[in-house]
Amino acid sequence: MNQAKIKRRVGKYEMGRTIGEGTFAKVKFARNSETGEPVAIKILDKDKVLKHKMAEQIKREIATMKLIRHPHVVQLYEVLASKTKIFIVLEFVTGGELFDKIVNHGRMHEKEARKYFQQLINAVDYCHSRGVYHRDLKPENLLLDASGNLKVSDFGLSALSQQVRDDGLLHTTCGTPNYVAPEVLNDHGYDGTTADLWSCGVILFVLLAGYLPFDDSNLMNLYKKVSILPNSLWNQSAFVFPITFMMSSRSLQISVAEFTCPPWMSFGAMKLITRILDPNPMTRITIPEILEDEWFKKDYKSPIFNEKGDANLDDVEAVFKDSEEHHVTEKKEEQPTPMNAFELISMSKGLNLGNLFDEQGFKRETRFTSKCSANEIISKIEEAAKPLGFDVHKKNYKMRLENVKAGRKGNLNVATEVFQVAPSLHMVEVRKAKGDTLEFHKFYKNLSTSLEDVVWKTEEDMQDR
């Protein structure tokens, strides 16, 4: 077997394949060369962060995660930096998103939903005790470990107690429309504790019902279900806008939350959800009251963990300074990256950390194996992509295919990479990097038709074995 090529090393970490990708960051699988422990490394480009004025948000995310050491929160191990990059080293969580579980299997039995909700409330209660308010709680930000336990992730929109104004409230409007509390829209400020709790209530409803309590394709109609909304502009995903952009001259008035529990939901669950989804934050149930709720307490197990000493936040500012940099060494790739057994296992259906499905249930990435040479695979993909209207950018055995024509969510970008599984066998990953997932699904169907003589087994074939 060929000796594995190290494409890149960051301090003591050997970098591997990309397992997630966003506008400002990539997440790569990596391994601690000293301990052999797998980790996930979030990589941010400093120039992009500074250009888009994201520095304070990134510093806040790092500071937040360093404060939180809880078994149901993704752990941040350390932060490294070079002149051009920031590297956030995180716990490698192997069970995927809670969102995927709902998409694939629908609503849960109450016992399972209660377990996840108990773990969520434990984590959120701990975060609040440390002065941290998440502000974007939703199933997509809840991961599952190998044992099926919940892990809260993505503190990019979180707030710290230091951000609370003199009135004792937070004032930045942010969150995800279907999960945001009605008072967050109010120009008078909101309590991060009660706002997070509302989101937890929406999550519990989704787990038990299999659908959202407040859902409307028209955002104006959606917010009329929980409030009277003045002229505003909302992003369908997570948002953060200045309050002055949100408010008109008339004040925001909170109305009665309009939702209906499905008939299969037990009375105890309905009663608890109704007390959480109270549009008045002053009368909304509190976490101590939830902990005493009869439905919640059934089969309850309090997490046992040893909290370490106070977190050192000195390096939060240092990651943006060259004086504290960690130099990154890179080696040019002359052959496809060989994959070891652990990496092969991490790519299997049950252990995939990538966002495999969007809200319509379409896959965001897929794979196939081929007995062709790596160069032949690259050439064939290029030949097939160009007639479909894609520009091709190649770097070693990675390719980025960019659609010259804008689609429903901008220009579709597709990333591909060839891995060497054995001397005569390669695995090809095809992943949506940008654009609409349905358009990616249609593109891949057209691409696979042109690659019939290249593909040996598809991902579905491999999973059926």
The residues assigned a catalytic role are 136
Q: Tokens 């994201």 sit at which residue?
A: 54
CA–CA distances in Å: residue 423 to residues 12, 230, 417: 28, 62, 16
Q: Which of 145, 8, 197 is nearest to 85 (CA)?
A: 8
CA distance 361 to 438: 9
CA distance 190 to 169: 5
Q: Where are the beta strands (DSSP E) in 386-443?
A: 390-395, 398-407, 410-422, 425-434
Q: Which of 326, 443, 437 is nearest to 381 (CA)?
A: 443
Tell me the backbone φ, ψ of residue 171, rounded to 5 degrees.
Answer: -130, -5
**Residue positions in the annotated binding site for ATP?**
42
Asked if residues 336 and 419 have their Cβ atoms less than 8 Å apart, the reply is yes
For strands 8-10 and 13-21, give the pairing: antiparallel
For strands 328-330 and 337-338, give the pairing: unpaired
Q: Which of 38, 134, 48, 112 is nearest to 77 (CA)?
A: 38
Q: Give me the helix-helix angle, 110-129 and 192-209, nearest 10°.
A: 170
Task: Give strand pairing partners of 400.
Answer: 393, 415
Quick one: DSSP state of residue 219? H
What single letter denotes the amino acid at residue 371?
Answer: K
